[in-house]
Homo-oligomer: A and B are copies of this chain.
Amino acid sequence: MLEIQRQQRLLDILEEKKFATVAQLTELLHSSEATIRRDLVKLDKQNKITRVHGGAKVLTSASGADNEAARPTLASPTNSAKTPQQINRALAQKAAALCEDGESVIINGGMITDLMGDFLRERKLNILTNSFALAHDLVTNSRNQVSLPGGEVYREQGIVLSAFDNDTTQHYSASKMFIGTPGLSEFGVTESDALLVRAEQKMRRQAEKLVVLAPSTSLEKRSSFIFCSLNQIDILITERSTDNALLQRYRQHGLEIVLV
């Protein structure tokens, strides 16, 4: 069996069962413990699963006190009072896990998406970002290929922004674009700055799929300028705690919802 096939099966099994012991996986995949462990180490480094003593579990919202799930149990961790930062990190982690090595992606600069850097350390992606902060982080602390659009560096926001159309973004082709949002509603994704929206739309055109990272606090909020409508979103990453009726309404616009 191919290594990646085994790893894919592993991910599938974990997605299905949420937790599995090394022994179980060894049994299911007809492989040795050593091999399974090595696979788990790799997947963990890629932030696709979380290794725990005794086996591995699916990603749960970033770390915290998960003591409750130390042993093989099916119960999912009680999603109790997380700080906004923890929530954002969890969203960023899940977003990073959606990327496969070798893939070309666009990451829009922003509070939430900048956190993706932490989860892309061991990866090998081609990344275009207008976040000066994230670019610096990735150039310094990872082996990912990093590209920047041209433009002026805005200190406060930590982004690179150009008022012109020709800024090399147009030469980039990506499979996914990631964007964190302060406002998601029936109007779609909204922003408070027009120039920013322009730049984002420019990037959007170069990506096949749009992935939106939205903490529950941003749901049903809106700002002045519309970046895109709901049905232009391909994947929405948000919190598990989100009201189900609301998610259902969003789903009607044909977007896939990933919960953390």
Contact = CB atoms under 8 A, between A and B. Distances in A.
Interface of A: 2-5, 8, 19, 21, 50, 52-55, 57, 59-66, 100, 102-105, 126, 132, 135-136, 139, 145-153, 155, 160, 162-164, 166-176, 208-209
Contact of A148 (B104, B153, B163): B153
Nearest to A52: B4
B175 A150 contact: no
Contact of A50 (B102, B162, B169): B102
A151 B175 contact: no
Q: Which 3 A-B pairs have the closest CB atoms?
A: A150-B168, A150-B150, A166-B166
A147 B152 contact: yes
B153 A139 contact: yes
Nearest to A2: B54
Contacts of A175: 60-63
Given A2-B52, A166-B167, A168-B168, A65 B150 contact: no
Contacts of A164: 168, 171
20 contacts: A8-B19, A59-B102, A60-B175, A62-B173, A63-B173, A64-B104, A66-B173, A132-B135, A135-B153, A147-B152, A148-B148, A148-B151, A149-B150, A150-B150, A150-B169, A162-B168, A164-B171, A166-B167, A166-B168, A166-B171
